[in-house]
Structure 1
Amino acid sequence: MPLVTLTSDIGQQDYLVGAAKGRLLRINPEFQIIDISHSLSPFNYPQGAYVCRSAIRNFPEFTFHIVLINLFESKPDQLLFAFHKDQYVLCADNGLLGMILEDKPDMVIGIPFEKTAIKNTLYCIDVAAKAITQLVNGEPIQRIGNPDPSYIEKNPLRPMLGESWIEGQIIFIDNFENVVVNITQEQFEQQRRGRRFKIVFKRDEVIDRISGSYADVPQGEKLVMFNSAGYMEIAINKGNAAGLFGLRGYNETHTATSTMVQNRLFYQTVKVFFE
């Protein structure tokens, strides 16, 4: 029974998520389908990569992960079908694959779209479902798609490093308005090297200790901890950190140097100073 996950930026307001599951089951009734999230922000690659990466690592080996994020940024002509660290990932050829894996996949094939097909979301689901079924049924890779295709690559959004500092970007704000930064505990400790530190955000907010849980500080107080995915999280015990501090998710399009953009970046980045 193939285990298949679904992640998308479709939302839950209309029929499309349900229709996608119906198409999967129509092609292979043995699929066991699990939702990861359908509430991701459109066009936000760092957020999508973080959510997918953090979920995928927890699934049994040889799970198939269908990622429907920003499917139509450009005219699509293939679906990527990758295998990496005992997990399968199927997604659009839009650069997201490398951001999710943070590495070159062990294997990748390109499944070409029919030139005359109407290339909408449900067509992409059909292509993914048929490819998974072929693989499960023992079809050779060469009959499913084109091995080692040319595909779009984008670099993962990584923190900036200095001798006595590390600067991360806010990549996710959860339902409680806790703020997730793209600094992992491993990166933090490697850069820290046992030194004292100050975590600074929104110009004048400072935290100088890592908490183990929200309850480590009094109600209403701010804290920093590493979440279950291993990423730095800024929170308020029984409060809304993003709303109170005016923090927001990082936007890759803000690359200009105007005063407006520079001011905006104060609310999208977090800096750690080591002493």
Structure 2
Amino acid sequence: MQDYLVGAIKGQLWQYCPECHVTDITHHISPFNLPQATYICKSAFAYFPLGTFHFVLINLFDRRPDHVLVAEHNGQYIGCADNGLLTMIAGGMPEKVIKIPLAKDEPRNTFAIIKLLAAAARELSRGAALGELAPLTQQIVVKHNLQPLVGDDFIEGQIIHIDAFENVVVNITREQFAAQRKNRRFRIFFRRDEVISQISETYADVPEGTKLALFNAAGYLEIAINKGNAAGLFGLQGFRREQLTQPAGFQQLSYYQTVRIIFQ
């Protein structure tokens, strides 16, 4: 948010689609953090109308690009780099996806990518089918979301997001929790010696300065302190960039990055 890029990208979009409404979701994803980007995108996209075109400009240069992806998923369109994020957001292969090649004489920069995506958005908004822009394909980079570890009497999740209030979001959904709980009692452990034994509905369910667990509006488990900062106080951390590229990333998770729920 401190340089020209966001404004310039919006200007470029309006050149191609002067009639479109451009809105921001976030510009504060941790660098290269695909799990965090997945959480933000999935949680936000669900509230946009059918036909929305989402520009996901994250980790565009994971490798030297020679094409961009445009996908149709849940009645919306997603434009992004071919870096695995698309399959993470869609939870697998999207319904339809195409590769749009960059011209050989185009510079490999953000504006060349935006030009292709904006042109695609313009054609799709005018009624073109995705397959008319380029051949449909399934030959794209595939990556999978971080998934909780589960056992007969536990579920262990990873911290995927820390918000501006330092509330900690864990990749355990309300549905996953209910399926593993099976109406049993539970205790939520984090930082080894911190325990929560109930799920709150709002932050105000506990006194100020008290820790709590709830399922946030996106349906994910959240560890918080009423009018406090859970991440800072407890030293909790999100999944780090270097762990995303290491095969043993899960094994290298520390107790500062995980939340375990024990069922009894």
Task: Provide TM-score, normalisation by structure 1.
Answer: 0.91
Select 1:201's aligned residue among 190, 203, 208.
190
Q: Which amino acid aligns with 1:115?
A: K
Q: Secondary structure at the match of 2:103?
A: coil
Select 1:75's aligned residue among 31, 53, 64.
64
* Aligned residue number for residue 122 of structure 1: 111
Q: Secondary structure at the match of 1:37?
A: coil
* Aligned residue number for residue 154 of structure 1: 143
1:144 and 2:133 equivalent? Answer: yes
Q: Note if contact 1:226-1:232 (Cα within 8 Å) is conserved in structure 2.
A: yes
Give the CA deviation at 1:146: 2.7
1:253 and 2:253 equivalent? Answer: no
Select 2:75's aligned residue among 86, 96, 113.
86
Give the CA deviation at 1:257: 7.4
The within-5 A match list for 1:98-247 is: 98-247=87-236
Q: Note if contact 2:70-2:79 (Cα within 8 Å) is conserved in structure 1.
A: yes
Q: Which amino acid aligns with 1:106?
A: E
Q: Which amino acid aligns with 1:170?
A: I
* Aligned residue number for residue 36 of structure 2: 47
CA displacement 1:143-185 (0-9 Å, x = unmatched): 4123115110001111111111001000000000000000000
Query: Separation in 2 of the partners of 1:139 and 1:38?
Result: 30
Q: Which amino acid aligns with 1:265?
A: S
* Aligned residue number for residue 254 of structure 2: 265
Q: Secondary structure at the match of 2:79?
A: strand
Flag structure 2 segments of 5+ consecutive residues without an equivalent: none
The structure carrying a bigger strand percent of its residues is: 1
Q: Note if contact 1:250-1:269 (Cα within 8 Å) is conserved in structure 2.
A: no
The CA RMSD measured in Å over matched residues stands at 1.6
- CA distance 1:129–1:256, shift in 2 (3 Å): closer
Give the CA deviation at 1:24: 0.3
- CA distance 1:140–1:206, shift in 2 (3 Å): closer
Give the CA deviation at 1:49: 0.5
Query: Separation in 2 of the partners of 1:139 and 1:159?
Result: 40
Q: Secondary structure at the match of 2:9?
A: helix
Q: Which amino acid aligns with 2:122?
A: T
Query: Separation in 2 of the partners of 1:252 and 1:163?
Result: 31
Q: Which amino acid aligns with 1:120?
A: N
Q: Secondary structure at the match of 1:19?
A: helix
Select 1:13's aligned residue among 2, 14, 19.
2
1:38 and 2:27 equivalent? Answer: yes
Query: Separation in 2 of the partners of 1:81 and 1:66?
Result: 9
* Aligned residue number for residue 7 of structure 1: none
Give the CA deviation at 1:138: 3.3
Give the CA deviation at 1:137: 2.4
Query: Separation in 1 of the partners of 2:213 and 2:69?
Result: 37
Give the CA deviation at 1:30: 0.6
